[in-house]
Amino acid sequence: MKHFPTHRILGALPVTAALLLAAVTPAQASAPRNPLPGDGLRLTVTTGDSRSSDTRGTLLLCDPPQGHSRAAEACADLTAADGDIGAVAHKDAVCSLLYAPVTAHASGRWNGRPVSYTKTFSNTCVMLAETGAVFALDDEQLPEAAGPAELPGV
């Protein structure tokens, strides 16, 4: 029977452990944090309230415009507002006073800057009037500008 010196076995353990860890640890090359090309926004619109809701969503990419039913318009609105959804030019629209809440949410990156936006609107018409084509996910008709003949009592 052969005897192995204990000090050699114990001395080899740290080296063996280091080699095993190196083999098991995944290579962490400089992979981008966002695997998508360019900047993009994840957009969702939730209709209803906390008791009953329906959420729709999409990914908006702007170079080239894609992933959204009105991508070119939404990208133009965001470009004009420098990516700030709250600064998108509001449309003068006549919307009903019907309370049918919708919550718009956006997260992602615009020109390298993080974007996080959440706002609840009284109804879809108000949301589209305030955010342009950005949250027009299902090819909703954007509100028309209100002219003098369309205003009640004029």
Task: Parse the chain into domains and list their residue ranges.
Answer: 40-131
Chain centre distance of CA 37 = 14
- Residue 144 pLDDT exceeds 70: no
Confidence label for 18 from pLDDT (cuts 50, 70 and 90): low
- Which two three-digit tokens encode residue 35? 């695997």
Sheet bearing 40-48, strands edge to edge: 65-66, 53-62, 40-48, 102-110, 113-121
Task: Reply yes or no on whether the pLDDT at 104 is more than 90.
Answer: yes
User: Quick one: average pLDDT of 87-100?
Assistant: 92
Contact 146/93 with Cβ under 8 angstroms? yes
Alpha carbons within 13 A on the beta-carbon side of 28: 4
In 3-state terms, what secondary structure has residue 26? coil
- Where does the pLDDT of residue 113 fall: very low under 50, low under 70, confident under 90, or very high at 90 and above? very high
Going by C-alpha positions, the residue among 48, 76, 46, 47 that lies closest to residue 60 is 76
The answer to whether the predicted template modeling score (pTM) of the entire model surpasses 0.95 is no
CATH T-level fold of 40-131 = Subtilisin Inhibitor (3.30.350)
